[in-house]
Amino acid sequence: MNIAIYGAGGFGKEVACLIDRINANGGDWNLIGFFDDSKPKGMAVSCYGTVVGGMDLLSSYEEPLAIAIAINDNKTVKRIRESINNPHIVFPNLIDPSLFLVDERTVKMGEGNIIQNDCMISCDVTIGNFNLINDHVVVGHDNAIGNFNGLMPGAHLSGGITIGDNNLLGVASVVLQGMTIGNGVTLGANSVLMTPPRDNATYLGVPAKRFDF
């Protein structure tokens, strides 16, 4: 099936590499290029393709097309997804072949998720829609992850964690077992979350404490 990447920046290039790895392991995606409203049509995106248009073209596209939203900002991903109403567009999960699933029978996943290389997902895990699980992330048992969350490289989630929507867990951050994270929380790089956070707040440090800018 034809696929395009929404977002012609550095993360878009990484998702193109992910598609190549999937195809090398039995996938059958045909990458037709990139959509981006801030880049000129025809612009080359390294060796991976060119920008074919923006939201106007995508909204009027008349053939079946899979889209991967490759933007490393969960709020922007949510806005773009809500702007796409074309019934020809689908949002597949793109999962690196290196993913280790402890028990795939007990893992449930929605649509539009991107899982990069060398991640581990344990048993009885539920993942919603349009989450970015970047490389070397560990998701423990009995976790429930909502929608439009970003788990940056090396983030570790212990068991029994519930995460809502629009949260960002920074590089090498850790969430201890049993935590509930609501919505709009940012956990800084290398921080360790040991107490439940407030919504729409930023937490930094070991142990992580609320930080007001």
Residues 87 and 100 in one domain: no
Cα(20)–Cα(137) distance, integer angstroms: 21
CA torsion angle 173 102 97 152 (round to 10): -10
**What are the pLDDT digits (tens) for 70-109?**
998 999 999 999 999 999 999 999 999 999 999 999 999 9
Domain boundary among 62, 77, 92: 92
Query: Is 209 a domain residue?
Result: no
pLDDT, residue 94, reads 98
Residues 115 and 77 in one domain: no
How much is the pTM? 0.95
**What are the pLDDT digits (tens) for 131-159?**
999 999 999 999 999 999 999 999 999 99
CATH number at residue 29: 3.40.50.20
CATH number at residue 167: 2.160.10.10
Residues 13 and 108 in one domain: no
Residues 88 and 138 in one domain: no
Residues 105 and 195 in one domain: yes
Residues 161 and 172 in one domain: yes
Cα(109)–Cα(19) distance, integer angstroms: 19
Residues 109 and 187 in one domain: yes
Query: Is 165 a domain residue?
Result: yes
Contacts of 39 by beta carbon, 8 Å cutoff, 6+ apart: 8, 51
Residues 182 and 111 in one domain: yes
CA 82, 65, 117 angle in degrees (round to 5)? 80
**What are the pLDDT digits (tens) for 160-199?**
999 999 999 999 999 999 999 999 999 999 999 999 999 9
Helix (H), strand (E), coil (C) string for the chain: CEEEEECCCHHHHHHHHHHHHHHHCCCCCEEEEEECCCCCCCCECCCCCEEEECHHHHHHCCCCEEEEECCCCHHHHHHHHHHCCCCCEECCCEECCCCEECCHHHEEECCCCEECCCCEECCCEEECCCCEECCCCEECCCCEECCCCEECCCCEECCCCEECCCCEECCCCEECCCCEECCCCEECCCCEECCCCCCCCEEECCCCEEECC
Query: Is 13 a domain residue?
Result: yes
Provide the residue range defining the domain that includes 187: 95-204
Nearest to 120 by CA among 142, 139, 135: 139
| Number of domains within the chain | 2
Residues 154 and 70 in one domain: no
**What are the pLDDT digits (tens) for 12-43?**
999 999 999 999 999 999 999 999 999 999 99
Domain boundary among 58, 92, 126: 92
Domain boundary among 64, 92, 120: 92
Query: Is 14 a domain residue?
Result: yes
Residues 105 and 198 in one domain: yes
pLDDT, residue 212, reads 85
